[in-house]
Chain A
Amino acid sequence: QSDGAYGLGRSALAEEIAAWDVDVLPDGRGLPEGSGDAFDGEEVFADKCASCHGDFAEGVDNWPVLAGGFDTLADKDPVKTVGSYWPYLSTVWDYIHRSMPFGEAGTLTADETYAIVAYILYSNDLVEDDFVLSHENFAAFDMHNKGGFVVDDRPELEYASWRAEPCMSDCKGEVKVTMRSVFLVETPEVGTVS
Chain B
Amino acid sequence: MDEMFKPSRRAFLRGSAAVAAGTVAGGAAAQVPDPLITELQDWASYTGAGVDETPYGMPISYESHVIRRNVEWLTASPISSINFTPIHALEGTITPQGCAFERHHSGAIELRKEDYRLMINGLVEKPLVFTYEDLERFPRENHVYFCECAANTGMEWAGAQLNGAQFTHGMIHNMEYTGVPLRTLLVEAGADLDQDKWVYVEGADASSNGRSIPMEKALDDVLVAFKANGEALRMEHGYPVRLVVPGWEGNMWVKWLRRIEVVDRAVESREETSKYTDVYEDGTARKWTWVMDAKSVITSPSPQMPIPHGPGPLVISGLAWSGHGQITRVDVSRDGGITWETARLGKQGDTKALTRFYLDINWDGAPMLLQARAMDETGYVQPTKSQLRAQRGENAVYHNNCIQTWYVNEKGVAENVEVS
Contacts and interface: CB of A to CB of B under 8 A. Distances in A.
Given A153-B286, A181-B417, A190-B65, A175 B335 contact: yes
Interface string B2-15: 00000000000000
Q: 3 smallest A-B Cβ distances: which pairs?
A: A4-B188, A73-B283, A74-B283
A138 to B, nearest CB: 14
A188 B304 CA distance: 11
B207 A182 contact: no
B304 A94 contact: no
A23 B269 contact: yes
B177 interface: no
A72 B119 CA distance: 41
Which one of A3, A20, A98 has the greatest number of beta carbons of chain B within 10 Å? A20
SS class of chain B's interface: helix, strand, loop or mixed?
A: loop
A8 B258 CA distance: 16
A175 B338 contact: yes
Chain B interface residue number, banded? 35 or more
A20 B119 contact: yes
Interface in B44-67: 64-65, 67
B75 interface: yes
A27 to B, nearest CB: 8
A137 interface: no
A172 B337 contact: yes
B187 A5 contact: yes
A172 B338 contact: yes
A78 B287 contact: no
Contacts of A151: 286-288
Given A86-B274, A151-B287, A181 B416 contact: yes
Interface in B269-324: 269-270, 273-274, 277, 279, 281-291, 293, 303-304
Interface stretch (B21-29, B162-170, B223-231, B353-361): B162-170
B289 A3 contact: no
A88 B273 contact: yes
Interface of A: 2-6, 8-12, 16-17, 20-21, 23-27, 52, 61-64, 73-74, 76-78, 80, 82, 85-88, 90-91, 94-95, 98-99, 102-103, 105-106, 148-154, 157-159, 162-164, 166-182, 184-188, 190-191, 193-194
A94 B270 contact: yes
Contact of A61 (B76, B161, B418): B76
A17 B400 CA distance: 39
Contact of A88 (B268, B417, B419): B268
Given A3-B126, A20-B259, A163-B378, A91 B187 contact: no
Contact of B391 (A6, A9, A105, A157): A157
Given A94-B269, A150-B285, A177-B419, A166 B378 contact: no
B263 interface: yes
Contacts of A103: 79, 106, 206
Contacts of B369: 175, 177
A181 B331 contact: no
B318 to A, nearest CB: 17
A91 B272 CA distance: 10
B164 A179 contact: no
A171 B339 contact: yes
11 contacts: A17-B121, A26-B265, A78-B279, A86-B274, A87-B268, A95-B270, A154-B293, A168-B339, A178-B417, A180-B415, A187-B71
B69 A180 contact: no
Given A11-B128, A87-B268, A188-B71, A80 B289 contact: no
A150 B339 contact: no
Given A87-B273, A91-B270, A188-B71, A2 B287 contact: no
Contact of B128 (A2, A23, A166, A174): A2
B420 interface: yes
B200 interface: yes
B407 interface: yes
A179 B418 contact: yes
Contact of A149 (B71, B134, B285): B285
B336 to A, nearest CB: 3
A26 B367 CA distance: 55
A157 to B, nearest CB: 6
A9 B129 contact: yes
Given A95-B269, A154-B293, A166-B375, A175 B261 contact: no
A25 B267 contact: yes
A182 B415 CA distance: 8
A181 B273 contact: no
Given A23-B269, A185-B162, A12 B69 contact: no
Nearest to A7: B188
B127 interface: yes
